[in-house]
Amino acid sequence: MPAIPLANAPQPAATSPAQIRNFCIIAHIDHGKSTLADRMLGITEVVEQRNMRAQYLDRMDIERERGITIKSQAVRLPWRSGIDGQEYILNMIDTPGHVDFTYEVSRSLAACEGAVLLVDCAQGIEAQTLANLYLAMENNLTIIPVLNKIDLPAAQPEKFAEELSKLIGCKPEEVLRVSGKTGVGVEELLDQIVAQIPAPVGDATAPTRALIFDSVYDSYRGVVTYVRVVDGKLTPRDQIQMFSTGVRHEALEVGVISPEPVVSKGLGVGEVGYVITGVKDVRQSRVGDTITMYNNPAKQALAGYKDPRPMVFSGLFPLDGADFPLLREALDKLQLNDAALVYEPESSAALGFGFRCGFLGLLHMEIVRERLERESNLSLISTAPNVVYNVTSGDGKEIVVTNPSEYPDGKIEKVEEPIVRATVLAPSEFIGTIMELCQERRGVLLGMDYLSEDRVEIRYTLPLAEIVFDFFDQLKSRTRGYASLDYEPVGVAEADLVKVDILLQGEKVDAFSAIVHKDKAYAYGTMMTGKLRELIPRQQFEIPIQAAIGGRIIARESIRAIRKDVLAKCYGGDISRKRKLLEKQKEGKKRMKMVGRVEVPQEAFVAALTTDADIDKAKAKAKE
Amino acid sequence: MSSKLSFYVHIPYCARRCGYCDFNTYTPSELSISSDLSGVSRTYIDQLIKEIEFAHRTLTQDGSHSPITVPTIFFGGGTPTLMEPTDLGRVISAIGNHFDLANGAEITTEANPDTVTPATLEALREAGINRISFGMQSAASHVLAALDRTHKPENVERAVVGARAAGFDEVSVDLIYGAPGESLSDWEATVDSALALPITHISAYALIVEDGTKLGAQVKRGEVVMPDDDETADKYLLADEKFTGAGFDWYELSNWSKPGSHCRHNMAYWNGSNWWGVGPGAHSHVDGRRFWNVKHPRAYGERINAGADPKADEEFLDAQARASENVMLRIRLREGLRILDLPQSDRLDELEDYARAGFIDQESWRENRIVLTRTGRLIADRIVRSILF
């Protein structure tokens, strides 16, 4: 039996690097990573059969529900190799699967020597997996290609083994075949991890250097920092220091996850585990930073610490203005665990007080919003997401615009917008459709490669703003769900952008302003004015709705004046009833926001600012 | 209490129910009684008389003996003319026996044009009724059919002429516009034919689709499409123009009359005066207290026969509710609302906008009153909301 009872396994701080293998699993959502991880926990017997549950490592409800991993984890698995009969410690470092969390992925990769490339053999590799694979290859990781779900009737192992072998330059027969569900091939995979992935290399006598690859806020323990020790060692009571900030902390507790936290005497070279210092905010213990000793600091930090940069901005407003303090509290709490989330108070004439929030991407935005609503029981309006623009005004002043309302009036010298390099993987029958979509979105084709006979990789540069605006939904619907997308920022480019304002009865409504490409300004203007005409109820005067660029009107609609708003009859018995009806209408009027003299229902803002896809989602939700 | 009290007398019976009607009324089959209501008339009227006695006891129980004058009585329904005219006369007598029925009191009955004959009209006059209001609704038979009304358009003229011949000096017709299938010219024809009648008063209501009616259900199911509000607004403007041109002045949003022929009973509702409604489901208002009777005729009868109060519930109007009602009701009247009486003084800018836009009569506005113009009356509820919140 290749499993080793935990108590008899090599102990933390007393395991030689030669016995250690650090690996991660690169996989797309749904390709079975969590199931495979569950199986590994079972086979290595770190989780007893009776304690096993599905997606054991996914801690948040939202992770389990959406089937995606947001925060990475590291699990210590003892294993006796079926090949050489020796005892080993495998550290499985889980990686987030989504493009928004690329930086976290790269830090996870930096903590490993090898990666299991896990691909569903009914679907083939997806764009984000490919992106992470390239990242792993750039980090010189040993790649073990694995096809999962070989038990499925729709499995096409030959086809996808061919595809993988082309991508990583191995032979198709070297691609392992497993089923996380049935356990077939998993023991062999563990043996191959031992055999193929190199042991970590480090200097046990050098000043301590440990890479932070994850940092999680726990309401009981404070921040739990996940580290990979490169040189030296980490022991409890050490006075440690963060390389980036120079701040000193005491290591109150050091341990490993197996898969529940186990306190240890320390962590040695090549080992993976956690440190608790009592800090309350993940920003004090940031992913990518290097931990060293206060008394004997290392000279050089480990490679690459960078601040995750928010790419997408959106305003979050409580539906009920009185909830503003609650929203602030909720954001503060969330930030303890999410170093990438940034926000500052914002006030909108139409939506009241809220926060302008910056996110890594659309999924990050959606997750944050969902967590705020779920964990703090808030109802929120989010404004249409936008990207960051560098605007140079006529007098040469440069302004960073994260909100259309900051866009300067008057003459604009130039505007720069963020550009991404996007990779789309799809069946080749959709090439035309995908190219058409990318062209519509101001894309520039970089290249195209066939992954296999009928699957292609298409590369484009695209303005991030175009991706942010329902690109993914469009891509999915136009390719019947087959296409996958990945993108990475590649800088900024000058573009012919304008700000379109929406005016109600001549008054600008900040919440509806948008920065769009000149060629799309007209379409945005007609879309928004048309939407508002449907959403705003008729009032006693005609309401002109205009879209304007500066002083120039580019689209107009109008809401005709209401002509009848009276109940014809009012006799003795009607009086009480009518008065009560009035009282009810008073409540309705409270939910109206006044824009000048125009009453705009809250729902109009929600509906106008969300995309049609969001509205459909909301409708579907309401039906449940 | 103040020394005046009007009476509303509810007759909760109809030969059949109209699809749009949500009044508290019952057909013989619903009550499992004979279709001609014979036998019901006498017992039911006896119950009403008992309630009139009850009203008298209630209003004089504080020991005051100051006389209570009754300026108006109104028989509504339902279909009051399904009762024997002599039975209606017994109600009037009972009121006269317990209260001080004013000299020249206005005593109205609603009437179905189909169910009156020269003889019944004579008998109604003899019973003391001096004002009659016919449910004409429309001159177009397809509109009457859409409303489930069974009378023939030509019967209206006969009924009105007959009423004049019988000595009714005050004759009114009720009209309904905005029924499904009614065109603007249908409505114009209805207005013209009403104006051709020897009448002194016209009520014209836009049809309201009420929940719980057959029409309400049909609209909900999409079987019937209601005309849009803009068209209904056009019909109001047309009617107001024609009525005014023919010498009928508006005195309430949906009511027009020859000079001096306004309905004094209805004015009592709108002025916040006191009235007692007798009969099942009837509403009353006495000095800021509103109360209403149990709805079903059987429940009502049981209470009355047991000597109990037939009241189902009541409410006491606080100052705010009174102020709201005052605005809500007076803004519908020709006399309008004094700016002095507005509950909130910070609405003048909004009202100024309404005046400037032609919804409030300019002259009245200069005199610190709010009198609505034709177009203003059409959005009266909106203006009320602006004033109140």
Alpha helices in B32-99 (DSSP H): 40-60, 85-98
∠ CA(B166), CA(B171), CA(B175), 5° rounding?
Answer: 135
B378 inside 8 A of chain A by CB = yes
What pLDDT shows up at residue A558? Answer: 96
Judge: B283–A566 Cβ closer than 8 Å, yes or no. no
Check which CATH number belongs to the domain holding B58 and give it: 3.20.20.70
Measured CA to CA in angstroms, residue A263 lies from A59, A252, A288, B139 at distances of: 20, 11, 23, 93
Judge: B321–A597 Cβ closer than 8 Å, yes or no. no
What pLDDT shows up at residue A623? Answer: 41
What pLDDT shows up at residue A305? Answer: 60
The separation between the first and the last C-alpha atoms of chain B, rounded to the nearest angstrom, is: 31
What pLDDT shows up at residue B276? Answer: 97
Q: Is residue B290 part of a domain?
A: no
Separation CA A143–CA A338 (nearest Å): 29
Do residue B109 and residue B25 come from a single domain? yes
In angstroms, what separates the C-alpha of B357 from chain A's closest C-alpha? 8
Do residue B364 and residue B259 come from a single domain? no
Do residue B196 and residue B78 come from a single domain? yes
Element housing B384 (H / E): helix B380-388
Do residue B256 and residue B367 come from a single domain? no
Judge: A575–B290 Cβ closer than 8 Å, yes or no. yes
Contacts of A331 (CB under 8 A, 6+ apart): A316, A341, A343, A355, A357, A372
Q: Is residue B298 part of a domain?
A: no
A485 bridge partner residues:
A424
Give me the residue label for tokens 């009324």: B25
Q: Is residue B26 part of a domain?
A: yes
Domain boundary among B223, B240, B270: B270
Do residue B261 and residue B336 come from a single domain? no
B262 inside 8 A of chain A by CB = no
> How do strand A20-27 and strand A114-120 relate by DSSP bridges?
parallel
Do residue B249 and residue B373 come from a single domain? no
Q: Is residue B313 part of a domain?
A: no
- Out of B205, B229, B382, the one facing A569 most closely (by C-beta) is B205
Pick among A505, A540, A543, A569 to test the B interface (most B CBs inside 10 A): A540
Higher pLDDT, B58 or A59: B58
- Out of B8, B204, B377, the one facing A566 most closely (by C-beta) is B377
What pLDDT shows up at residue A279? Answer: 87
Q: Is residue B120 part of a domain?
A: yes
In angstroms, what separates the C-alpha of B119 from chain A's closest C-alpha? 31
Helix then strand then coil, in percent of chain B rounded to 5, is 45, 20, 35
What pLDDT shows up at residue A276? Answer: 93
Judge: B321–A579 Cβ closer than 8 Å, yes or no. yes
In angstroms, what separates the C-alpha of A354 from chain B's closest C-alpha? 26
Do residue B79 and residue B217 come from a single domain? yes
Pick among A563, A580, A591 to test the B interface (most B CBs inside 10 A): A563
The least confident of A177-191, B14-28, B90-104, B229-243 is B14-28
Q: List all residues of chain A from 153 to 192 with a beta carbon under 8 Å from chain B.
A: none
This complex has an ipTM of 0.91
In angstroms, what separates the C-alpha of A570 from chain B's closest C-alpha? 8
With CA atoms as reference, the chain A residue closest to B315 would be A576
Do residue B266 and residue B336 come from a single domain? no
B290-316 pLDDT tens trace: 999 999 999 999 999 999 999 999 999
Please give the radius of gyration of chain B, using alpha carbons only, rounded to the nearest integer.
21
Mean pLDDT of chain B: 94
Query: What is the arithmetic mean of pLDDT over B73-97?
Result: 95
Residues in chain A closer than 8 A to B384 (CB atoms): 582
Separation CA B178–CA B215 (nearest Å): 13
Using DSSP's 3-state secondary structure scheme, residue B140 falls into: coil
- Out of A565, A572, A597, the one facing B275 most closely (by C-beta) is A572
| Closest residue by Cα to residue A515 from A499, A501, A496 | A499
A584 inside 8 A of chain B by CB = no
Q: Is residue B322 part of a domain?
A: no
What pLDDT shows up at residue A406? Answer: 87
What pLDDT shows up at residue B117? Answer: 93
With CA atoms as reference, the chain A residue closest to B290 would be A576
- Out of B282, B324, B380, the one facing A566 most closely (by C-beta) is B380
What pLDDT shows up at residue A98? Answer: 54
Q: Find out whether A499 and A515 touch, Cβ atoms under 8 Å.
A: yes
In angstroms, what separates the C-alpha of A593 from chain B's closest C-alpha? 14
Q: Is residue B159 part of a domain?
A: yes
Contacts of A143 (CB under 8 A, 6+ apart): A114, A115, A117, A133, A136, A137, A168
Residues in chain B closer than 8 A to A565 (CB atoms): 378-382
- Out of A541, A567, A582, the one facing B388 most closely (by C-beta) is A582
| Closest residue by Cα to residue B74 from B3, B22, B131 | B131
Residues in chain B closer than 8 A to A572 (CB atoms): 8, 269, 275, 277, 283-285
What pLDDT shows up at residue A405? Answer: 85
With CA atoms as reference, the chain A residue closest to B293 would be A573
Q: Is residue B205 part of a domain?
A: yes
Q: Which amino acid is at B368?
A: N
In angstroms, what separates the C-alpha of A563 from chain B's closest C-alpha? 6
| Residues of the domain holding B100 | 6-270
Pick among A570, A578, A581 to test the B interface (most B CBs inside 10 A): A570
Pick among B7, B379, B383, B386 to test the A interface (most A CBs inside 10 A): B379
What pLDDT shows up at residue A621? Answer: 44
Instruction: Render A406-466 in DSSP notation, one character per residue.
Output: GSPPS-EEEEEEEEEEEEEEEEGGGHHHHHHHHHHTT-EEEEEEEEETTEEEEEEEEEHHH
B329 inside 8 A of chain A by CB = yes
Domain boundary among B253, B270, B287: B270
Domain boundary among B255, B270, B285: B270
With CA atoms as reference, the chain B residue closest to A576 would be B290
Element housing B323 (H / E): helix B319-330
Q: List all residues of chain B from 153 to 182 with a beta carbon under 8 Å from chain A.
A: none
Average pLDDT, 10 consecutive residues per value, chain A (624 residues): 77 91 88 87 81 67 49 80 93 70 75 93 86 85 95 92 90 93 94 96 94 83 90 95 90 89 92 91 83 93 73 87 92 80 86 89 83 86 88 90 87 93 92 95 95 90 88 86 84 94 91 89 93 92 95 95 90 88 81 83 75 50 41
Residues in chain A closer than 8 A to B354 (CB atoms): 540
Do residue B113 and residue B203 come from a single domain? yes
Domain count, chain B: 2
Do residue B364 and residue B257 come from a single domain? no
Do residue B257 and residue B372 come from a single domain? no
What pLDDT shows up at residue B16? Answer: 86
Element housing A345 (H / E): strand A342-348
Give the model's confidence band at B44: pLDDT under 50 very low, under 70 low, under 90 confident, else very high: very high
Q: List all residues of chain A from 547 to 576 with a beta carbon under 8 Å from chain B.
A: 562-573, 575-576
Do residue B372 and residue B257 come from a single domain? no
Give me the residue label for tokens 């429940």: B299
Query: What is the arithmetic mean of pLDDT over B57-72?
Result: 87
Judge: B354–A571 Cβ closer than 8 Å, yes or no. no
